[in-house]
Structure 1
Amino acid sequence: MAALVNLPTDLLRTFITVVELGGHSKAGAALGRSQPAISLQIGRLEELVKAQLLMQDGRNILPTPAGEALLSYAREMVRTNDEAVSYFHRTDRSGVLRIGLPTDYAVAFLQNTLTRFLHDNPQVDLEIHCDLSRELHKMLRAEELDLIIATMNSPRMPYLSRSWVEQPIWAAADSYVPDPARPVPLGAHLEGCDYRSRMVDALDGAARRWRVVYTGPGISGLQNAVQNGLCITALTKATLLPGMRELAEDEGFPRLEQLRIGLFYKHPRLTAAGLHLVSELVASLESVGSGVTKVTPG
């Protein structure tokens, strides 16, 4: 039996930091090591996995395909290590955490995971920002947010920790009766919303006429409009409220394209409180809506 290879967390931490901060010098500054020491650690990790992990693209340092595959595991291993150390060392959990949520998820998480986290960690102040996913990604890159939950436009994206596949559903008031002779009355978030584009694509593909009768940035206003019979929309099962029902394909509403949802953060920038919140989110994200399925790393 071949000997098992152990991947030291200090090497994995260095690898993550180089990728997420964009170079050996920035990683060295963040970790308190010299640039040659960082290079040696990356070399040692490449020896252990027997693969090149980083490549130069102009001035940028990017992970190779092997590096991309390792990155998912590395982030999880280092996060678990840091959460364990935090537990036994009773690391201080305080300060401000800036969380970015897409509008559709805001209700479910504010009422559950985030409120529970605040109750258990009264010294932490949460700042919640709800926006389109594309804006949340920009804010994370600019370090205006600490962690985000957002939709993904590709299977691999920077700062990804976990991802899920979700099936959006058509939602209408219980009393809604489709009228094939009239355009479908749509309620939607602003242009750029992934749910909006999926509704339009599905109806166009089925040659169904439609018109947007309600537009707004908040989930509550959209839910009210649906409950009152003003429009129909695409939602997650978690945001389907009493007084609403799911519309079926045999009523003329084609299946909507799935969404990939991700949990993103820059590990080198995250505090002990942030790491604890990530663990809470990882434990609870899978329970948000029956259409959510975990996608394993790699």
Structure 2
Amino acid sequence: MTPQFDIEALRMMIMGIELGSFARAAVHLGRSQSAVSMQLKRLEDQAGHLLFQRKGRGLTPTEAGETLLEYARRIVAMHDEAAAALGASVAPPTIRLGLPQDFFEDVMPTTLTAFANSQPNAHVAVRAGRNYALEEEVKAGQLDVALAFCEAGRPATGELLATMPMLWLAKDENIDAVRGSQSDLPLVLYEHPCLFRQAALRALEDARIKWRLSLTTPSLAGVWGALRFGLGITVRTTYRVPPGIHKVEDGLPKLPALELRMLKQDHPTEGAHELADILKTAVRNLVINH
């Protein structure tokens, strides 16, 4: 019998090989692992050949798989071209971008505006996240591109874009005004885990400065709001510090710098690669040169 190949199974095959992982392809196309396994098995049944072989923890195409892959790319391209010619909508794959909240007001809209001008039909899903989570989600194939703060000097991950100093910040420049009369230093910090939080507490403990948590929050806007009302002191970079918030130096220990890195999947799609390039330009113009 002549094989009747499933177009979506062929699309999954292409995506899995391009991303280097069928698990990543499943996340990228919004399907479960079991659904992917069924599609690949159906392709092998339809082809009458073993199409994939296990290599390490992943799958690689056999000789028959490589042959089908070459035709699959042409079949899917012609399918989508025909659908577009008839006015049918072909939904583009979603590109998933992860950013710290620091970059939501200018880097994100600048990047997405430029990307939309280049790829007007693209769909970008943006996720705000903590640095540790963003890095793990890129590794797990749940994000295509991300910006994340990393500890300076740690084993290199991603591409270094900038080194940014950490500062003590508060409504008042005077440490005594922040602390109050002989009281412990009130801290406004992100919830654990957080690189800024860890750096602040480590520095205070090493300097034997007594502290207390005044407010913890998962929101950067919450941090700035607490500082504006004089609830304590925090640690951030120099980037986009709100008016009325000042650097505090006297009486406090020096803090290390952080590295801003771009993280990408090992095998990004063409759209993800273009988005990463535009994001890098936005960071260069808005963050490094600010």
When normalised by structure 1's length, the TM-score is 0.61
Q: Counterpart of 1:200?
A: 201
Residue 169 of structure 1 aligns to a residue in which SS?
A: strand
TM-superposed CA distance for 1:23, in Å, is 5.6
Provide closer, same or farther for how the CA distance between residues 114 and 210 of structure 1 changes in structure 2, counting only shifts above 3 A.
farther
Which structure 2 residues correspond to residues 268-279 of structure 1 after superposition, within 5 A?
Answer: 268=267, 270-279=268-277
Residue 168 of structure 1 aligns to a residue in which SS?
A: strand
Q: Counterpart of 2:163?
A: 165
Unaligned 5+ segments in structure 1 are 1-13, 35-91, 293-298
Q: Counterpart of 2:131?
A: 133
The structure number with the bigger radius of gyration is 2
Residue 225 of structure 1 aligns to a residue in which SS?
A: helix
Q: Counterpart of 1:262?
A: 261
Q: Aligned equivalents of 1:195 and 1:115: distance in 2?
A: 30
- Amino-acid identity (%): 22
Q: Aligned equivalents of 1:240 and 1:141: distance in 2?
A: 31
User: What residue identity is the alignment partner of 2:125?
Assistant: E
Q: Counterpart of 2:112?
A: 114
Q: Counterpart of 2:122?
A: 124
Which structure 2 residues correspond to residues 232-243 of structure 1 after superposition, within 5 A?
Answer: 232-243=233-244
User: What residue identity is the alignment partner of 1:227?
Assistant: R
TM-superposed CA distance for 1:188, in Å, is 0.7
Q: Counterpart of 2:227?
A: 226
Q: Counterpart of 1:213?
A: 214
When normalised by structure 2's length, the TM-score is 0.62
Q: Aligned equivalents of 2:170 and 2:113: distance in 1?
A: 29
**Total equivalences in the alignment:** 213
- Contact 1:97-1:125 at 8 Å conserved across structures: yes
Match of 1:147 among 145, 148, 164: 145
RMSD between aligned alpha carbons?
3.5
- Contact 1:103-1:217 at 8 Å conserved across structures: no
Q: Map Cα deviations across residues 62-113 of structure 1 (whole Å, 9 max, x no partner).
A: xxxxxxxxxxxxxxxxxxxxxxxxxxxxxx9954211112333444422433
Residue 155 of structure 2 aligns to a residue in which SS?
A: coil
Q: Map Cα deviations across residues 168-218 of structure 1 (whole Å, 9 max, x no partner).
A: 111111x45322622111111111100001111112222211111111111
Q: Aligned equivalents of 1:93 and 1:255: distance in 2?
A: 51
Unaligned 5+ segments in structure 2 are 1-16, 25-53, 68-89
Q: Map Cα deviations across residues 130-154 of structure 1 (whole Å, 9 max, x no partner).
A: 2222212222222111111123352
User: What residue identity is the alignment partner of 1:260?
Assistant: E
Residue 208 of structure 1 aligns to a residue in which SS?
A: coil
Q: Map Cα deviations across residues 202-242 of structure 1 (whole Å, 9 max, x no partner).
A: 12222211111111111111111112211211112223011
Q: Aligned equivalents of 1:167 and 1:93: distance in 2?
A: 42
Provide closer, same or farther for how the CA distance between residues 105 and 195 of structure 1 changes in structure 2, counting only shifts above 3 A.
farther
Match of 1:281 among 274, 279, 282: 279
Q: Aligned equivalents of 2:117 and 2:183: distance in 1?
A: 49
User: What residue identity is the alignment partner of 1:262?
Assistant: R
Q: Aligned equivalents of 1:185 and 1:232: distance in 2?
A: 6
User: What residue identity is the alignment partner of 2:236?
Assistant: L
- Contact 1:104-1:236 at 8 Å conserved across structures: no
Q: Aligned equivalents of 1:289 and 1:209: distance in 2?
A: 33
TM-superposed CA distance for 1:33, in Å, is 4.9
Q: Aligned equivalents of 2:150 and 2:59: distance in 1?
A: 26
- Contact 1:188-1:216 at 8 Å conserved across structures: yes
Provide closer, same or farther for how the CA distance between residues 282 and 33 of structure 1 changes in structure 2, counting only shifts above 3 A.
farther
